[in-house]
Amino acid sequence: MINKYFYSAICLVTLLTSACKNETQESAVADNEVVKNYAEEAKPEIQQEPWSQQQLLEPSELVHLLENSEDSLVIFSLGAGGIIPGSKDTGPSGEKESLNNLRQELETLPKDSNILIYCGCCPFDICPNVRPAFALLNEMDFTNHQLLNLRENIKVDWIDKGYPVGN
């Protein structure tokens, strides 16, 4: 009789151990899936910029253009208050009203106009103004537009270098 109970107890322990082991494995698989899904969601999205590298104009190149060119360059300031000579301030294009101001200005220009936009409030990766404005130029089918490559801001990349200011 003891053997019978002993045998039953062993079977019961084995059965429970197997069930727990199987449940633990299933839980581990489920946990791995959660971790995998979280890791996929947590990956930073690589943002495709609306401009190409060729459409970035270095500040020193703009200074040269301003000093030596009779080109009809149209310059729009998107939030820096028209610091660069000859630029027209349309306001921060991250705001709907200002983006509409820019749109109205652009509607008066030929599609092949030589256009430069700049903001200068902060680095591009956090600037709320350059992407909407450049995307608007693309959407409106302009063919000769550039973005002034202000890596830090208008002060560091333009004013502190002694480049001309005005308006």
Q: Are residues 68 and 132 in the same domain?
A: yes
How far apart CA 161 and CA 149 sit, in angstroms, is 14
Q: Are residues 23 and 85 in the same domain?
A: no
How far apart CA 74 and CA 23 sit, in angstroms, is 68
Q: Are residues 60 and 135 in the same domain?
A: yes
pLDDT in tens, the chain (167 residues): 555 554 454 544 444 444 444 444 554 444 445 444 444 454 445 568 888 889 999 999 999 988 887 668 999 999 868 899 989 999 999 899 999 999 999 999 999 999 999 998 988 888 999 999 999 999 999 999 999 999 999 999 999 999 999 85
For residue 126, the domain's CATH number is: 3.40.250.10
| pTM as predicted | 0.70
Q: Are residues 32 and 58 in the same domain?
A: no
Q: Are residues 22 and 70 in the same domain?
A: no
Which range marks the domain in which residue 106 is found?
A: 53-161
Give pLDDT, residue 16: 45
How far apart CA 76 and CA 64 sit, in angstroms, is 18
